[in-house]
Structure 1
Amino acid sequence: MKISKPYLIVGQGVAGTVLAHHFLQANIPFQIWDSPIHFNSSYAAGGIFNPVTGRKLEKTWLADELFDYLFPFYQQLEKTLNASFFYPMPLFRPFANAEMKQWLLDRKSEINHDFLTWTDDGVWVKQAGWVDVASLLRHSKNYFEKQGIYAAKTFQVADAMDFEGVIFCEGFHATQNPLWNKLPFLPAKGELIRFQSNEPSRDCILNKNGFILPLPDGAFKVGATYRWDEFTQTPTASSREELFGKLTSMGVSNYELLDTYVGIRPATQDRRPFVGMLSGNNRGIFNGFGSKGVSLSPYFAHTFTQDILGEKELQADVSIRRYSHLFSV
């Protein structure tokens, strides 16, 4: 496929950053602009990747494809950026109580065990871990700046004519973009707390109606909350109390509060991302990854890049073409 002009990636959160690195690998010319007036929720992300989901211990959607791809992708990207931000780490899910333990044991034969190791106290999840999203974004921004392809700039409609295509990676801000505000987004506000304590284990991510994540600096994060009634950048007292309750339920009673982080997850009603170019014009989207941006975005950045180059079509259940009726005139 011949590309006569560069592409423009709008937004340098997780989605835009990961897509930009794939464009670099594929030698697709591009610029990446990040609006200085937008709140970048990616900096507040917990960044956990986990191939098992829900109380039924089900493999997450496309787990095999996603996790086979994300490990070598992030490991190579650390080398490219000469930075550390990818932390594979076992995740432990203790049984909530005796009744839940027995319920899971009764259906154990129905559960896929590819990523699981069972113990008397709970279940260990393999191929889990976390990405230090803030570090990934900072080092990527520096890398893009050195190559002259990054700008702190807000996209205007008239800018589109200068580019082969404009791909919007705006997170929850897409709900305010007239081009995309008809899409069935379901954004969710979340809060995390960074805290200091000697009580939690530093050897794993603890997952029990929330998570406790050990950080390289000796601190921890606990998260996360979900709310759908307001989307400000301001922490709320109710969410703080909920997070304190999560700490108590996970056996942490002695801690020092260090920081609070607020983000808005760009989730979707059908729990599938919005990926692809609109038919008939040069606008596209790479968005809707919800709370699983660090695990979903690498694989779909790869498939989106293949689609742009004409090598392979996007999967129908993530393609923006599934909502073509919303863009008909």
Structure 2
Amino acid sequence: MKYDFIVVGHGLAGAILSYTLRKQGHRVLVIDEPRPSAASRVAAGLLNPVAGKRFAKSWLADTFIPAADAFYDELEQHFHQPLFIHKPIYKIFSSIEEQNTWMAKSAGTNWNDYILSTHTQSINQPDIDDPFGGIMIGRGGYLQVTEMLDLLTQEVLEQKLMLPERFEIEKLQLTEGGVRYKEDEAKHLIFCEGFQVVNNPYFKWLPIQPTKGEVLEVQTENYTPECIYNKAVYVVPVGNGRFKIGATYNWRQPDEEPSPEGQEELTERFRQITSQPFQVTEHLAGIRPAVRDRRPLVGLHPQYPQLSVFNGMGSKGVLMAPYLAQQFAAALAGTEEVMPEIHIFRYLSLYYDYIEQQNQQL
């Protein structure tokens, strides 16, 4: 069978990119081995416009958030069900020093689109420990990632546009007109493999750092507040007294096995936010594709233009993927350029080093 594109990987990035390409009229084959421990399915799907202890606006938030809103709205209409849950995020100050940092930061920046309110004292929500107050962040929320991936997977399976199997790279052939994989041909192939790109002979030179993240789901006594909490970890109320708590960051042990240490860290962080009694109902672990400079990795292979990569979004995929998928689709059509900040050519020196090492081993 002949296709315009083959997309390898159907996590968050691959699913959004393949849907974007299909909506533009391209014939797309998806190849993906379903794995419950895939990072996209483990994550809580948080979208937060304000990042980190330094209270920085998320990179290109003014660009990414409108695109994300439009994309998830379209997807909800397409499948006739809610997928993105809009909720304010209450970022709790951990100390007077942190409160002062925010007050100084907010004085010189226009935060009107994102900050709903600033609290220098507790907001007196039941069972919430916030003696130093915090900021209430708007335009955030969470994507029901597993539900979205299940719907998109079902759609491509029904249309016979998916091979639900492990991609065998040794069966990939590069041709004059594109690529051939087993019995299928395409003009172009895009790798959206997440951390597994470290085993890809065409793109293993990219500086991906596999980083383990663990998430808990806990049950309380039907306690469901109206906001997401953020203090060292996120606490996302998902209804009926259930919360998702995450995530840990562990680059020393990049495996997909939940650990006692991870559970202890997350439960302790949860206790620092709320006095609600709780019971752990699920403990999951996945591996993120973290990048050295915390920017995605997008672009065509330096030597083989029929191959490209769309990867490296780490914990920001829900925020960034809709806009970047649209931009990359336009770049593949020759109507737009991939922005330099995410283009893989910023690491071209690593590619040359990799080629030299390969030649020395011959």
The TM-score by the shorter chain falls in which range?
A: over 0.9
5 Å matches for 1:197-276?
Answer: 197-198=220-221, 201-276=224-299
Taking structure 1 as reference, are residues 211 and 5 closer, same or farther at Cα in structure 2, changes over 3 Å only? closer
Please point out which of 282, 294, 297 is paired with 2:318.
Answer: 294
Q: Distance in 1 between matches of 2:283 and 2:293?
A: 30
Q: Which residue of 2 aligns with 1:119?
A: 119
Counterpart contact for 2:295–2:312, Cα < 8 Å: yes
Taking structure 1 as reference, are residues 221 and 307 closer, same or farther at Cα in structure 2, changes over 3 Å only? same
Shift of 1:74: 0.4
Shift of 1:253: 4.5
Taking structure 1 as reference, are residues 67 and 16 closer, same or farther at Cα in structure 2, changes over 3 Å only? same
Taking structure 1 as reference, are residues 200 and 96 closer, same or farther at Cα in structure 2, changes over 3 Å only? farther
Q: Which residue of 1 aligns with 2:149?
A: 137
Q: Deviations over 1:13-38 (max 9, x none)?
A: 00100001100111122100103579
Shift of 1:108: 3.2
Q: Distance in 2 between matches of 1:153 and 1:38?
A: 14
Q: Distance in 2 between matches of 1:269 and 1:285?
A: 16
Counterpart contact for 2:3–2:29, Cα < 8 Å: no
Q: Deviations over 1:244-277 (max 9, x none)?
A: 1101110235101100111111110011111122
Q: Distance in 1 between matches of 2:61 and 2:34?
A: 35
Counterpart contact for 2:327–2:336, Cα < 8 Å: yes
Matched, 1:323 2:353: no
Q: Deviations over 1:147-178 (max 9, x none)?
A: 11111123334333222111111111111222
Q: Distance in 2 between matches of 1:66 and 1:20?
A: 18
Taking structure 1 as reference, are residues 38 and 78 closer, same or farther at Cα in structure 2, changes over 3 Å only? closer
Q: Deviations over 1:112-139 (max 9, x none)?
A: 4131121232111110000011111111
Identity of aligned residues (%): 29
Shift of 1:200: 5.5
Write the letter of the residue equivalent to 2:20.
H
Q: Which residue of 2 aligns with 1:108?
A: 106
Is the partner of 1:207 in helix, strand or coil?
A: strand
TM-score when scaled to structure 2?
A: 0.85
Counterpart contact for 2:218–2:243, Cα < 8 Å: yes
Counterpart contact for 2:299–2:345, Cα < 8 Å: yes
Write the letter of the residue equivalent to 2:100.
Q
Is the partner of 2:235 in helix, strand or coil?
A: strand
Counterpart contact for 2:68–2:322, Cα < 8 Å: yes
Unaligned runs of 5+ in 2: 121-132, 173-178, 356-362
Counterpart contact for 2:221–2:241, Cα < 8 Å: no
Is the partner of 1:215 in helix, strand or coil?
A: strand
Unaligned runs of 5+ in 1: none
Q: Which residue of 2 aligns with 1:308?
A: 332
Report how many aligned residue pairs link the two structures: 326
Write the letter of the residue equivalent to 1:124.
M
Write the letter of the residue equivalent to 2:321.
S
Q: Which residue of 1 aligns with 2:307?
A: 283
Shift of 1:201: 4.7
Matched, 1:146 2:153: no
Q: Distance in 1 between matches of 2:72 and 2:35?
A: 29
Taking structure 1 as reference, are residues 210 and 228 closer, same or farther at Cα in structure 2, changes over 3 Å only? same
Q: Deviations over 1:60-116 (max 9, x none)?
A: 110000001100100111111233221111000122123322333244312441311
Write the letter of the residue equivalent to 1:247.
F
5 Å matches for 1:55-204?
Answer: 55-114=53-112, 115-116=114-115, 117-120=117-120, 121-155=133-167, 156-159=169-172, 160-161=179-180, 162-198=185-221, 201-204=224-227
Shift of 1:5: 4.1
Q: Distance in 2 between matches of 1:109 and 1:141?
A: 46
TM-score when scaled to structure 1?
A: 0.93
Is the partner of 2:291 in helix, strand or coil?
A: coil
Q: Distance in 1 between matches of 2:140 and 2:215?
A: 19
Taking structure 1 as reference, are residues 137 and 36 closer, same or farther at Cα in structure 2, changes over 3 Å only? closer
Q: Distance in 1 between matches of 2:155 and 2:3?
A: 22
